[in-house]
Amino acid sequence: MSDSQQRSEQHSLSMMYGTYADILFVLFPFLVITMQRLWDGNLADILMRPDLSIAAAILAGLAIGKFVLGLVSNRDLGRFKERIVFFIALTLFVVLGPAIILMLSIVGDSEVPEFVAFVQPVLLIIAISLYTTAVSISNILTRQESGDTETGRAGGLHGAADRSTGHEPLAIPRRSGSDTP
């Protein structure tokens, strides 16, 4: 295996871990709520409360953000823009809209229909899938831009300082000795 393939594989693995860390971070408060309901003996109420819809809406919002990031990351993506906009619309239509409607209906209604216990986990699974897809698409598009920079195919759009990483290094000014207390 070549060095570039190994780096690409390592980068993909790191992105996967980062993606699932984001998902776990979003789901952590809902795990705490679930454990508290389990402690109180109200485990049956978990699927009838708006918690899973809230988590699905949060992940759908994050997915839309990642899709938009992929959309604006590279201006030479004319053939992919319609696909990315389709995924944004799909996220709004399939996850975010129904999740918000379910949240409002569950909170505002005294008796929650039983189908909610099946719809909410499905929405959460779809939201996780769309977020993972959004991160992958954004990663592919930004890596493609970075790959173009590394090989010089970008046509001189980036300076020589960022050719190895695809980004400019962060310049942090040093404090002078007279500024310290």
Mean pLDDT for the stretch of residues 32-44: 87
Residue with tokens 């952590």: 28
Average pLDDT over the chain, rounded to whole?
A: 80
Mean pLDDT for the stretch of residues 136-162: 54
Give the model's confidence band at 150: pLDDT under 50 very low, under 70 low, under 90 confident, else very high. Answer: very low
**Most confident residue range from 24-38, 72-86, 148-162:** 24-38
HSE-CB for 175 with a 13 A CA cutoff: 5
Q: Give the DSSP letter of residue 96.
A: I
**Most confident residue range from 24-33, 81-90, 145-154:** 24-33
Q: DSSP per residue over 26-60, as a string?
A: HHHHHHHHHHHHHHHT-GGGGGGSTHHHHHHHHHH
Cα distances from 70 to residues 66, 88, 101, 174, in angstroms, run: 6, 11, 28, 34
How many other C-beta atoms lie within 10 A of the C-beta of residue 123? Answer: 23
pLDDT at 27: 94
Mean pLDDT for the stretch of residues 4-18: 82
Mean pLDDT for the stretch of residues 42-46: 79
Say yes or no to pLDDT of 164 above 80: no
pLDDT at 61: 94
* pTM, entire model: 0.73
What would the pLDDT profile of 111-130 be if each residue is shown by its tens digit? 888 888 899 999 999 999 99
Q: Are 152 and 166 in contact (CB under 8 A)?
A: no
**Most confident residue range from 2-11, 85-94, 137-146, 166-175:** 85-94
